[in-house]
Amino acid sequence: MTGDAAIILIVEDEPPIRRLLRTTLGAHDYRVLEASTGAEALAALRHHRPDLVLLDLGLPDIDGLALIGQIRAVGPVPIVVLSSRGDETAKVTALDSGADDYVTKPFGADELLARLRVALRHRLQEQGAERLFTSDDLSVDLVRRLVRRGPEDVKLSPKEYDILEQLVIHAGKVLTHKHLLREVWRNETVDPQYLRVYVRQLRQKVEADPSAPRHVLTEPGIGYRLV
Amino acid sequence: MKPLSLAPLIRLVLPFAEAAVVTLLAALGGRVIADHFDVPNVSLVFLIPVLAAAVRHGFAASLCAATLSVLSFDYFFLPPLYRLTISDPADVTALFFLVIVALVTSALAARAHAEALAAARRARTLSTLHDLSNAIAGVLDLDALLDAAGRRMAQALNAEVVFLMPDNGALAARAAIPSGVRLEPADLAAAQRSWTYGGRAGGVNDPTTPSRRWFVPMHTGRSDVGVVGVLLTEAPDGLSAPDRDLFQAMASQVAVAIERVALATDIDKARLGAERERLRSAMLTSVSHDLRTPLASIVGVLSSLRSHRDRYDDAARQELLTTALGEAERLDRFVGNLLDMTRLDAGVIVPHRESVDVGDLVSTTLRRAAPLVRGRVVSSAVAPDLPMLHIDFVLAEQMLFNLLDNAVKYSPADGLIEVEARSVGDRIEIVVRDEGGGIAPAALERLFDKFYRADEGDRRRAGTGLGLAIAKGFVEVEGGSIMARNRTDRGGAEFIVSYRTAP
């Protein structure tokens, strides 16, 4: 399996964090490349074609957001951003300019690995996406447009279904408000209040306890995530 | 312009003209009386113009009236009539006595006149000083004080007024009436000299530092506070002696007021300094304790595992690591709190407002707080169909998280924690209740103060003393309010956060 191991490019200027990431990812059978500057990152990207980029937003030589644009210009490699707490605006901007997900420092290994798995899975999905989502009591079949909670079919309004469809396509990944408005309403300038109203209705139908959702999760200040 | 320039001349001549006319009328009147009645001492009629001039215009005018009276008496009454000569030597005596009487009378009357004038001036001075002291009493702001005092002085002296005060060692203009007065180098030199030697300086005739403005120092018994200068609008040559005294008296009064303002400011500063000192030491205690305690266990766990890994079985290792991780997370929360507090203090928090579903806010916060409230029973009751709030989700979530954190810390492990959201008028209230010991009356006031920790004795480790201060800051930055009180239905505290609903 080592030949098939995913290659992850770590772009991080702090040596202790780099060492931690190298050790953690190595122990989970990823192959690891390291870069401490934006320039090194772009060079590694061109030469080694990594499967995923783990990018710290606070690099010394280049603005992390600008680097996302440059990485996107090279290819569609998934990008997971490392950022600090209280920096929601930067996270949203990173996500809206092409990053796939984010992990907030300090992060636990489980959370980091979960994000990486999801981002790598979506890389595979784009080459022949699965249209099924199952998690605990919730299952969604996008091909047959079927939503079930436990044994029962759930009837959704078109907008509710469209939102759920987006969440399923990007299951496990955070979706920004802007992304959902663009894909569901085809208009980013729609009042996000409608989005909250529909998400509230969606939760009433797909969550066993809508007051403690377990599938459609809110990422404060950023968007939603389906798990 | 012509009538204006004539005015001083007329003012100068008028008393004398008046004296002359009155004397002439008296002479003619006397002549008529002498022609029709047999009056022995008709010369007494001349006391009228002398007294009138003395009372109305002072000594010079009365002297003029006296001279004219003597001449008129000779001319109209002493033979040969209508000539300024005397034929009867006895009449010389009469004339001599008239001169004496006229002179004495004018001197006495003139002194009375001068005293009346001086009394009026004293009254005016007193009333001016009284007005000034009323105007600046109780003013605690230096700029307002100088403005009020400057206006009174400008009005009383009919002058431009400028205050100069030391600023970083150099004397500089601090306020002026009218504003925008420009000082010339000569003015500054005069002001500087007045400041340095502590006396009056300036005026066009000042031999050392001639200047169009006059300056007097403002000093009190305790200190020198500055210099005040005037430029007379109408009499550029100088101040009259009484105005000079008035000027000096006003300057002294302003000096006392300035000193009072400075003292009040000093006291405020001292109070503020003491408060800052208290916060600094509370912060140092908190930082050193709250950073060191978790670090101590993290360093302890890591070093034991590195050096004596084989001495621990799997279960012990797992326990050590769980402890270290928990402490690291606590450390992270504390650093987060410090950062939030710093951002609040710096006033750099701009709420990123969006429509917020209160149920979503509560459930998301409870989800993040799950590790914190592990093992505790938390119930949430959110009224259905609450209107959306227009607030910053991230700030609100941290606020609610801190309230939950507080409830966990200050209530027993088997106590129920309740979160309730309800609509009250045009507001939405979020209430967090616990079943702890409640809040001591003394603590109610200081609960939201930075670094305040309710005294829990040795029973448990208190929090960082920042959570509630941050919660309050985050609520208020949204225009909401927060209050704490003891529950009435049972023991425990409740925190009530209130936000206005989106319009």
B186 touches chain A (CB under 8 A): no
Residue B389 lies in a domain: yes
Residue B492 lies in a domain: yes
Q: Does A73 score more than 50 pLDDT?
A: yes
- Domain edge (last residue) among B230, B265, B300: B265
User: Does the distance separating the beta carbons of B355 and A220 come in below 8 Å?
Assistant: no
CA B69, B75, B76, B77 dihedral sign is positive
Chain B residue numbers with beta carbons less than 8 Å from the beta carbon of A193 are 355, 388
Angstrom distance (rounded) from CA B322 to CA B311: 17
Greater model confidence, B113 or A91: A91
- Domain edge (last residue) among B66, B98, B129: B129
Joined tokens for residue A58:
């606070």
Question: ipTM of the predicted structure?
Answer: 0.88
A16 touches chain B (CB under 8 A): no
| Cβ atoms of B189 and B209 closer than 8 Å | yes
Same domain, residue pair B228 and B120: no
pLDDT at B371: 85
Q: Is B304 exposed, middle or buried (0-12, 13-18, 19+ CB in 10 A)?
A: middle
Mark which residues 175-194 of A lie under 8 Å from B by CB. Answer: 177, 191-193
Same domain, residue pair B373 and B487: yes
Greater model confidence, A200 or B450: A200
Angstrom distance (rounded) from CA A184 to CA A192: 12
- Which of A85, A192, A220 comes nearest B355 by C-beta? A192
A199 touches chain B (CB under 8 A): yes
Residue B286 lies in a domain: no
pLDDT at B83: 81
Same domain, residue pair B370 and B410: yes
Q: Does B2 score more than 70 pLDDT?
A: no
User: Does the distance separating the beta carbons of A106 and B332 come in below 8 Å?
Assistant: yes
Question: What percent of chain A stands above pLDDT 70?
Answer: 95
Q: What is the DSSP letter of B218?
A: E
Q: Does B470 score more than 60 pLDDT?
A: yes
Same domain, residue pair B121 and B146: no
String of DSSP letters for B301-354 = HHHHHHHHGGGS-HHHHHHHHHHHHHHHHHHHHHHHHHHHHHHHHHT------E
Q: Residue B371, Cβ neighbours under 10 Å: how many? A: 8
Question: What's the CATH number where B245 sits?
Answer: 3.30.450.40
Band of pLDDT at residue B460, cut at 50, 70 and 90: very low
Greater model confidence, B170 or A125: B170
Same domain, residue pair B95 and B152: no
- Which of A86, A217, A221 comes nearest B393 by C-beta? A221
Residue B314 lies in a domain: no
Chain B residue numbers with beta carbons less than 8 Å from the beta carbon of A192 are 354-355
Q: How many CB pairs under 8 A join A and B?
A: 54
String of DSSP letters for B24-51 = HHHHHHHHHHHHHS--TTGGGGGHHHHH
Boundaries of domain holding B419: 354-500
Residue B248 lies in a domain: yes
pLDDT at B462: 53
pLDDT tens profile A40-64: 999 999 999 999 999 998 888 888 8
Distance from CA of A79 to the nearest CA of B (A): 24
User: Does the distance separating the beta carbons of A218 and B363 come in below 8 Å?
Assistant: yes
pLDDT tens profile B48-71: 888 888 888 878 888 888 888 888
Residue B214 lies in a domain: yes
Q: Which residue in B has a C-alpha nearest to residue A177's C-alpha?
A: B354
Same domain, residue pair B488 and B368: yes
User: Does the distance separating the beta carbons of B359 and A200 come in below 8 Å?
Assistant: yes
Task: For chain B, state the CA radius of gyration.
Answer: 44
**Backbone angles phi and psi of A192, in degrees to 5:** -60, -15
State how far the alpha carbon of B19 is from the alpha carbons of A159, B45, B307, in Å.
Answer: 109, 14, 121
Side chain identity, residue B494 = E
Question: What value does the mean pLDDT of chain A take?
Answer: 90
| Cβ atoms of B33 and B26 closer than 8 Å | no
Q: What is the DSSP letter of A144?
A: T
∠ CA B39-B45-B47, rounded to 5° = 140
Q: Does B458 score more than 50 pLDDT?
A: no
- Which of A85, A86, A193 comes nearest B355 by C-beta? A193
Band of pLDDT at residue B459, cut at 50, 70 and 90: very low
Question: What's the CATH number where B442 sits?
Answer: 3.30.565.10
User: Does the distance separating the beta carbons of A199 and B394 come in below 8 Å?
Assistant: no
Counted domains in chain B: 3
Same domain, residue pair B97 and B41: yes
Q: Does A3 score more than 80 pLDDT?
A: no
Greater model confidence, A127 or B216: B216
Structural domains in chain A plus CATH codes: 2-125 (3.40.50.2300), 132-226 (1.10.10.10)
pLDDT at B503: 62
Q: Which residue in A has a C-alpha nearest to residue B502's C-alpha?
A: A193
Chain B residue numbers with beta carbons less than 8 Å from the beta carbon of A210 are 359
Q: Does B101 score more than 50 pLDDT?
A: yes
Among B31-45, B324-338, B403-417, which is the least confidently predicted range? Answer: B31-45
Band of pLDDT at residue B488, cut at 50, 70 and 90: very high
| Among A154, A160, A156, CA closest to A138 | A154
Same domain, residue pair B31 and B97: yes
| Half-sphere exposure at residue B256, Cβ-oriented, CA atoms within 13 angstroms | 11
User: Does the distance separating the beta carbons of A221 and B356 come in below 8 Å?
Assistant: no
Q: Does B457 score more than 70 pLDDT?
A: no
Residue B100 lies in a domain: yes
pLDDT at A208: 93
pLDDT tens profile B397-443: 999 999 999 999 888 999 999 999 999 999 999 999 999 888 888 88
- Domain edge (last residue) among B265, B286, B301: B265
| CB burial readout A156-190, b (16+ within 10 A) else e | beebbbbbbbbbbbbbbbbbbbebbbbbbbeeeee
pLDDT at B74: 84
Chain B residue numbers with beta carbons less than 8 Å from the beta carbon of A86 are 336, 339-340, 343, 394
Same domain, residue pair B199 and B99: no
pLDDT at A188: 86
- Which of B343, B366, B394 comes nearest A220 by C-beta? B394
pLDDT tens profile B367-396: 999 988 888 999 999 998 899 999 999 999
pLDDT at B279: 76
Joined tokens for residue B11:
């003012």
- Which of A88, A200, A217 comes nearest B357 by C-beta? A200
Residue B336 lies in a domain: no
Q: pTM for the complete prediction?
A: 0.63
Same domain, residue pair B261 and B375: no
Distance from CA of A68 to the nearest CA of B (A): 24
Angstrom distance (rounded) from CA A67 to CA A55: 9
B324 touches chain A (CB under 8 A): no
pLDDT at B236: 57
pLDDT at B4: 55
Same domain, residue pair B359 and B479: yes
A200 touches chain B (CB under 8 A): yes
Distance from CA of B325 to the nearest CA of A (A): 9
Give the largest Cα separation in chain B, rounded. Answer: 152
Same domain, residue pair B122 and B150: no
